């Protein structure tokens, strides 16, 4: 039996449902699930994902370090770079972010929810890629497994980052992370 969902995780899930759905239906991600996916379309999606993921992962990891937190977040960006390299592509370096104010631990909880949630979805995408494009297609970025106990542990960590009364900051962090990611995909995806 899985542990109950912590209150903050429930709030984050409910409050970001529309943003999550919009991102899931973005053409850069939607094409990855299509049975007609080509290597060219896959490459275009990876190229668009690079700046979007790099911006979010780097921001989260920098804030964890700045806040002196002892959170371990698996870095997936190098896997994305490797996948692109195997396809003979070089990713576009993400533009330097406009100055975002430092985050609070509660805001970081919302951003981390988006980053780690993307890893859960990546496992489903990896399975589909293997079926559609074959086992030889590079998909390390999507294949970084999450052990069964890892997601509940991460949700508990998010809860600990967000003291009572600060859930609005966590929700704002998640909404902002979804919005930045979506904007990056809009900017860089060329179907």
Is the full-model pTM beyond 0.85? yes
pLDDT tens readout for residues 62-107: 999 999 999 999 999 999 999 999 999 999 887 776 557 778 999 9
Domains in the chain and their CATH numbers? 7-188 (1.20.910.10)
pLDDT tens readout for residues 116-145: 999 988 989 999 999 999 989 999 999 998
With contact defined as beta carbons under 8 Å apart, do 6 and 158 qualify?
A: yes
Per-residue pLDDT band for 2 (boundaries 50, 70, 90) equals low
């Amino acid at each position: 039996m899985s542990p109950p969902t912590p209150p903050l995780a429930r709030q984050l899930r409910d409050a970001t449902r529309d943003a999550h759905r919009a991102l899931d239906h973005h053409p850069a991600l939607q094409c990855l699930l299509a049975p007609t996916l080509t290597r060219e379309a896959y490459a275009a999606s990876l190229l668009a994902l690079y700046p979007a993921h790099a911006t979010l992962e780097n921001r989260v990891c920098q804030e964890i370090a700045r806040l002196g937190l002892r959170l371990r977040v698996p870095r997936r960006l190098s896997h994305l770079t490797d996948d692109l390299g195997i396809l003979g592509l070089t990713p576009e370096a993400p533009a330097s972010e406009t100055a975002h104010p430092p985050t609070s631990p509660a805001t970081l909880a919302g951003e981390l929810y988006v980053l780690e949630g993307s890893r859960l979805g990546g496992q489903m995408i990896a399975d589909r890629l293997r079926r559609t494009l074959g086992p030889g297609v590079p998909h390390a970025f999507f294949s970084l497994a999450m052990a069964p106990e890892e997601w509940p542990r991460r949700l508990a960590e998010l809860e600990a980052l967000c003291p009572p009364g600060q859930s609005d900051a966590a929700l704002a962090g998640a909404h902002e992370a979804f919005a930045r990611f979506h904007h990056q995909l809009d900017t860089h995806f060329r179907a």
